[in-house]
Amino acid sequence: MSSAVETRAGSRTVTIALLGNPNTGKSTLFNALADVRQHVGNYPGVTVEKKIGHVLVDGQRFALVDLPGTYSLAPRSPDEMVTVDVLLGRQTDVAAPDVILCVVDASKLERNLYLVSQAIELGLPTVVVLNKMDVASEHGIELDLALLQKRLGVPVIPLQADRRIGLESLKQELPQVIEQTSIASELPFPDAFRQEVVRLQSDLQDASSQAGSGATLPRYLVERLLLDQGGYVEQADLPGVTSAVLERVSEARARLANAGFPVPAVEAKTRYQWVAQMLDGAVVSRSDDRITLTDRLDQWLMHRVWGTALFIAVMVVVFQSIFTWAIPLMDLIEKVIGWLSGSISAVMAEGALRSLLADGVLAGVGSVLVFLPQILILFFFIALLEECGYMARAAYLMDRLMYRVGLSGKSFIPLLSSFACAVPGIMSTRVIEDRRDRLVTILVAPLMTCSARLPVYTLLIAAFIPDQRWLGGWLGLQGMTMLALYLLGMVTAVLAAWLFKRTLLRGQTPAFIMELPHYRFPSLRTVVRRMLENGWAFLSGAGTLILVVAILVWAAAYFPHPPELGSQVRAGYAEQLAALEQREQGLQDQDDLSEDQRQAALDQLLEERGELRAEISSAVAAAYMEQSYLARAGYFIEPVVRPLGWDWRIGCAVIASFPAREVVVGTLGVIYHLGEGEDETSESLRETLRSATWPGTERKVFNVPVALSLMVFFALCAQCAATLAIIRRETNSWAWPIFTFVYMTSLAYVGALITYQTGMLFVGG
Amino acid sequence: MSAFLPLFRLAAGQIGEIESISGEPSQVHRLHELGLYQGIKVTMIRSGTPCVIRLAGHKLCFRQNDGLDIQVRPLAGI
Ligand SMILES: Nc1nc2c(ncn2[C@@H]2O[C@H](COP(=O)(O)OP(=O)(O)O)[C@@H](O)[C@H]2O)c(=O)[nH]1
């Protein structure tokens, strides 16, 4: 080993696994302990994040492995199996832990010790960290730590992680723990159960030696196999677990039930009995049922009427802040990127490299960065609301509504956030424990009308929807169209969620249980840390992919780029340029003009020349675009998009907007000969779109049904590389982003088709 | 009058002792892990779907699904 910090000769890195119920302060402790933090992506094949940190105590190196919060070590899914596998050293991509650090909430000892009872069965040196000691004493809970430690047989360390109180004594304890060999008391499982475990162990041994592998299953997993009816251990393809053995397992369960120890109740009974033994006399709690400040606040905040009204007010403030803070920041980012690409164009010679830097790389970087303000601001609020304890109340209030769709209240905030941007929305689905609910939420979140759709809507509505108003200007057709598009997204999302819950992700909805934590004053440090963590997760998890896609699309729009094309187009304008020159010459030769008149005429000429130059450069840009691979793709798909009322140029702009929807506006600008840099409020872009005709005819490309079909398409499509990249990151699989793209694009196509064809019945074109 | 009633039928403020939880084994198992098991006392704080209950000193928001049946023995109200 090369590390210079290892002072002790021959000492190696000791691996510590952090285990605990959700919301016990495990991440807070992890961040307080670790000097160096590392997110190393996901564990293979699952959505569990691999978080590893390092800390040095007295020259000894410790690696901290953070595990997802869990109530129990009884795995029900591949995700939950990861935790068990890491603890048992069966997960090959992390070192087998030497020590388990079990973080428990001191104010909820009874339930938290259930997990501890499982942890100590694993046979590893264990430390129990009693976190949130402040909350415990606030609740009038008094603990006899020495007694508890003696009973448990493992070190017990009081802590207040968020204020770093007790951190030093925990650190001092660590080096000694490694020496600890004897471990805690046996759990009081009935003898009948133990016998069944021994029996099953030998059955498994036989089966596995028959298969010639000789691999043995750790005792803990044998117990799980017996206890977890319908659990993941049955299906996990473990050594020796054959269908014959599974039959033995159900026979064993039947025998246990006959003996009066039915599975799974025997586990709860035994463990809670053990917990009671541990706590008896070690915990003195005054009254549980005092009315606390939290209870008093909840009378209002969870009230059906007042609570809901307050919730709406909170959401209005959050979204108002996004619009007032994020939009200017996004504009600023776009300006800076625009300025940079302008500077590049000014200093570099024309050519592929300049275009790559200015239109490919910079535009790509811009399309990644432009998401950051919304992500940071949204996560600031989400973290703030969660830290102060309000989020669970919001989920409670919205549960009734979301349940109708087949989801739970926890899906509400992610879906609402998606109205700003689907990327933070999808990232915030991590709070949803149920895997199916989380996936459904991820799949429908991109249907919510995000802010990137607005430029498309603004342009097309202003250009094609008549500005009719009723009720003294209060009700306008343009506004109604916008509203209809928002509703279209929402209604489709609801229907899609309903459908997915009944088909693709069918299964019994588990009972929904959510803790309602005590209200507390949020720590700004934690809020800011969580905000930055999410920003970084986006940049590292999706940034590169978005950049690559942006560069690919740039290449498609740029190449093959034959150099002679530009001169050919310019040659077509030679006569006009020459005419201007001639007029200038003529002006010089004319001597019957006053100085002022001459100046005015010269200015006029200069202006005309400027206009002509701009026209030439957009004609060149358009000519290059027309022979690019992108345009060929546009021609190629024209038969497919014709039924939607689109010509090849619209098809082409839609393809180019794959990295990000809003790009379609700029591409339409280029392709309809307006040059770059047109935005959705440009009057000339609207004019051009209105007057564009089908090649060789007088027939207009755009009419109201075409504009509507294009807008419906953008309402429903998945034209956003960032969203697809973040879905890939969050689900750790390519299958879900591909599925999302396919289902949304199909919906978009069908929606646009119906819109156009129905529209044409009215327009009669 | 039957001595037991389903958990969700408790009125706000009423206390009940869990008598039995039945349903799909892995679901029942999960409730056990969360601290809902035979013999434990729960206080209904807000009835309805979902309801809010107090259990061993902490508050939980709880929505039962169709497959589960939780019977409680009502004790005195507050
Ligand atoms: N009162 C109190 N709150 C804490 C303490 N440690 C952490 N918290 C808070 O508990 C909540 C959950 O913490 P977190 O680290 O996210 O928990 P995790 O889900 O176990 O990773 C956060 O709001 C923390 O700020 C503590 O010692 N006392």
Listing DSSP states for A716-727 in one string gives H---BHHHHHHH
In degrees rounded to 5, what are phi and psi of residue A718? -110, 45
CA of B41 vs chain A CAs: smallest distance (Å): 12
Measuring CA to CA, which residue among A167, A107, A163 is closest to residue A135? A107
Q: Which residue has the tokens 């026209």?
A: A615
CA dihedral A204, A206, A211, A215 (to 10 degrees): 60
Q: How far apart are the first and last CA of chain B?
A: 21
Q: Which residue has the tokens 């977890």?
A: A228
d(CA A363, CA A369): 10
Q: Determine whether the interchain pair B28/A230 forms a contact, defined as Cβ–Cβ distance below 8 Å.
A: no
d(CA B29, CA B21): 10
A60: helix, coil or strand?
Answer: strand
The contacts of residue B62 (CB under 8 Å, 6+ apart) are A511, A512, A513, A514, B50, B51, B52, B53
CA of B3 vs chain A CAs: smallest distance (Å): 23
Amino acid at B53: I
A185: exposed, middle or buried (Cβ count in 10 Å: 0-12, 13-18, 19+): middle
Q: Tell me, what DSSP letter sits at residue A565? A: H
List the residue whose alpha carbon is closest to atom 3 of ligand 1: A132
Rg (CA), chain B: 11
Domain ranges, residue B36: 5-76
Enumerate residue ranges in chain B where pLDDT < 70.
Answer: 1-2, 77-78
Architecture category of domain A3-177 in CATH:
3-Layer(aba) Sandwich (3.40)
pLDDT of res. A275: 93
Distances (CA, A) of A483 to A317, A439, A486: 21, 27, 5
d(CA A672, CA A124): 70
* DSSP result, A429-469: GGG--SHHHHHHHHHHGGGS--GGGHHHHHHHHHHHS---E
A285 with A225: CB under 8 angstroms? no
A634 with A557: CB under 8 angstroms? no
A715 with A751: CB under 8 angstroms? yes
List the residue whose alpha carbon is closest to atom 9 of ligand 1: A25
In CATH, what number is assigned to the domain containing residue B68? 2.30.30.90
List the residue whose alpha carbon is closest to atom 22 of ligand 1: A387
Query: A474-506: buried (b, 16+ CB within 10 Å) or exposed (e) per residue?
Result: eebebeebbeebeebbbebbbebbbebbeeebe
Q: How many CB atoms lie within 10 A of CB A221?
A: 23
B50 with A402: CB under 8 angstroms? no
B35: exposed, middle or buried (Cβ count in 10 Å: 0-12, 13-18, 19+): buried
Closest residue in B to A513 (Cα–Cα): B62
Query: A87-100: buried (b, 16+ CB within 10 Å) or exposed (e) per residue?
Result: bbbebeebbebbbb
A contacts of B29 (beta carbons < 8 Å): 74, 227-229, 231, 264, 267-268
Closest residue in B to A519 (Cα–Cα): B59
Measuring CA to CA, which residue among A61, A329, A300 is closest to residue A174? A61
Q: Tell me, what DSSP letter sits at residue A472? A: G
Q: How many domains does chain B have?
A: 1
pLDDT of res. A9: 40
Task: Tell me the CA–centroid distance for residue B51 and ligand 1, in Å.
Answer: 25
A492 with A747: CB under 8 angstroms? yes
Q: What pairs with residue A61 in β-bridges? A: A56
Sheet holding B5-6, edge to edge: A512-516, B58-63, B51-55, B41-46, B14-22, B69-77, B5-6
Q: What is the mean pLDDT of each run of 10 residues along chain A (765 residues)?
A: 41 89 90 80 74 88 91 87 91 89 92 93 91 88 91 92 90 81 71 91 85 80 90 83 88 92 89 92 71 85 92 85 80 87 82 80 80 84 90 90 86 86 87 86 92 81 82 79 88 92 80 87 88 82 76 82 80 81 78 78 83 80 81 86 87 83 75 65 77 76 88 91 89 92 95 92 71
A535 with A376: CB under 8 angstroms? yes
Count contacts between A and B (CB, < 8 Å): 121
B contacts of A513 (beta carbons < 8 Å): 31, 34, 60-63
Q: What pTM was estimated for this model as a whole? A: 0.81
A396 with A409: CB under 8 angstroms? yes
d(CA A76, CA A235): 10
Measuring CA to CA, which residue among A138, A125, A166, A144 is closest to residue A28? A166
Closest residue in A to B25 (Cα–Cα): A229
Measuring CA to CA, which residue among B4, B7, B14 is closest to residue B65? B7
Distances (CA, A) of A762 to A181, A641, A689: 83, 20, 21
Q: Determine whether the interchain pair B26/A512 forms a contact, defined as Cβ–Cβ distance below 8 Å.
A: no
The contacts of residue A329 (CB under 8 Å, 6+ apart) are A373
ipTM of this predicted complex?
0.92
Residue A635: both structure tokens together: 């021609």
Measuring CA to CA, which residue among B70, B53, B67, B41 is closest to residue B12? B53
Measuring CA to CA, which residue among A440, A561, A452 is closest to residue A504? A440
The domain ranges of chain A are 3-177, 191-260, 562-626
The contacts of residue A537 (CB under 8 Å, 6+ apart) are A39, A427, A729
